[in-house]
Amino acid sequence: MKTTSEEKAKVLKDNGSFNRHASSVISPLFMNSPYFDARDLVQVKYEMLRAVKYDDISITEASHQFGFSRAAFYKIERRFFESGVDGLGLQKTGPKLPAKTTDDILDFASALKAERPDITNDEIVQEIHSQKGVLLHKRSLQRGRAKKKHTET
């Protein structure tokens, strides 16, 4: 069963390896080839690394042909050496953990709630700000407490 171009694009998007900048790939490998697909980010990155290592193409030229900057080449190369092919997929950007709702802050909030069961989230947020110096939104507090409660069970 042969997959259509749209089906393949959907699979690539679903697994996080769709190259949104496929039109920037000008390597001869990817021109009119049924095997090479510029939309496949993992394949493009791998072929770029391979071209530098085995085809004697400079990093500058390979970066240009495969649609990346030289700085991106070095990041891609590092990720490949650290994680293999898995390192060539899209990486999640942004913070990995909440910055303000640390365990210390959540424990402080829980202690306040235990001492004063009638305290509101607004009042807890005010106490956190005045005693810990952390300006926190009450919704962040609610999410943090819910997440901590969920992970403890």
- Label residue 2 by pLDDT band (50, 70, 90): low
**83-95: average pLDDT:** 82
Q: How far apart are CA 30 and CA 105, in angstroms?
A: 52
* Percent of the chain residues past pLDDT 90, beyond the cut: 67
**136-152: average pLDDT:** 86
Q: How far apart are CA 20 and CA 114, in angstroms?
A: 51
Average pLDDT, the chain: 90
Helix (H, G, I), strand (E, B) or coil at 18: strand
- pLDDT tens-digit readout, 31-61: 988 899 999 999 999 999 999 999 999 999 9
Is-above-0.75 flag for pTM?
no
Whether 5 shows a pLDDT value over 90: the answer reads no
